[in-house]
Chains A and B, each alone.
Chain A
Amino acid sequence: MSNYWPWWAGALGLAVVTINYTVTTDRSFGVSSAWERVLQWRAERRVERMEAQFGDDRLLTEALASATAEHFGTRTGAPTPPYPVSGAAAAPGPQGGPATSEPAPVASPRPAPLVSQAALLLSIFLGGWLAAVTAGRFDLRLDMGDGFRDLVTDSPPHMIGVLFVGGVLVGFGTRLAGGCSSGHGLNGCGRLHPDSMVATAVFFGAAVVVSFLLWKVV
């Protein structure tokens, strides 16, 4: 395929998308966390309703802390450590895992609203479709292209199996690592976050090893 963009145009495009988003909203975007939040929409809606009720972060923290204390019957003076507001829905169960004692990042911005995360996923679809149509690449098909057929499998049932297992690994892995190629790779590396740089190096390295195996061995 020769009608893909040259590398500098792609680099410029990725940079402009990320920088524009960061400058206009003072946030990072991440596709895997958009997936997670859209899939957990019930819990997210609950958190959003609570946040709307308590317009103030401090009030919300205090209310959550006192509710927790009430629940466990261990009311203490000051509500410490602050309850991680942004991860309220993801907090581990009442068994008291070690993670609960982690202090929350105080200055983290509020999570982007649920609706906007769903809009991000839908817009990616629309943007991809526009690109395919305008470049004359749109082609409705039941396979994944010659590359996939030559390198992975040419049998449709195997293809379905490989895509499903690959998708599960991607979904599980990105959430365990806390981000994907957009959240860790573009936004996190751009901000020189240590976890993002480690994650990007590792997922890229793993993909290189597996791709070589597919190319040379399988």
Chain B
Amino acid sequence: MRTRGGVLVANIIAGLALGFVVANIGFGDYAELNRMFTFQDLRMLLAFGGGVAMIVVVFALIRVRRTPGRVHPGVIPGAVLFGTGWAVSGGCPAIPIVQVASGYLPALVTIVGIVVGVRLCRWANARYFHLDVGSCGR
């Protein structure tokens, strides 16, 4: 599964499963999201935290290779902006796709916003920040 075709198949499987799981947890539902972030309902929080905990344990057991990662100056300001945007719009980069797929048509606007934001960051980084921000998912 490490060839081009293999990665393509793996991405399709991961995308299908991620979309299915995220939608069924309720991440596309703004009311559920706000209840998670305000700790009124711990269900989604436990789903996310529990998922991360299982991944940590399994990755440790199967000794997953660790690629280097460092806290560069963009991490904290970037995360603050992202968290604010997520709480306001109800979308992280995957969720508006799931929202549109569930019939919430205005989430298309969130997607347009993400497209603009990604391009803006690239432009601002090349012009002003000059950060090697690295990238997950490589």
Contacts and interface: CB of A to CB of B under 8 A. Distances in A.
A92 B122 CA distance: 10
B10 A25 contact: yes
Interface stretch (A59-67, A72-80, A129-137): A129-137
Interface residues of A, number: 140
Identify which of B4, B10, B87 gathers the most chain A CB atoms within 10 Å of its CB: B87
Interface of A: 1, 4-36, 39-40, 84, 86-87, 90, 92-93, 95, 97-99, 102, 105, 107-109, 111-113, 115-117, 119-132, 135, 137-148, 150-152, 159-160, 162-196, 198-200, 202-212, 214-215
Contacts, number: 563
14 contacts: A10-B51, A19-B55, A35-B93, A39-B118, A127-B21, A135-B24, A167-B115, A168-B113, A171-B117, A171-B118, A172-B118, A174-B118, A198-B71, A206-B83
Nearest to B51: A14
Contact of A93 (B48, B119, B126, B134): B126
Contact of A191 (B2, B59, B71): B59
A184 B78 CA distance: 12
A204 B83 contact: yes
B44 to A, nearest CB: 7
Contacts of A132: 23, 101-103
A181 B92 contact: yes
Interface in B106-134: 106-107, 109-122, 124-127, 129-134
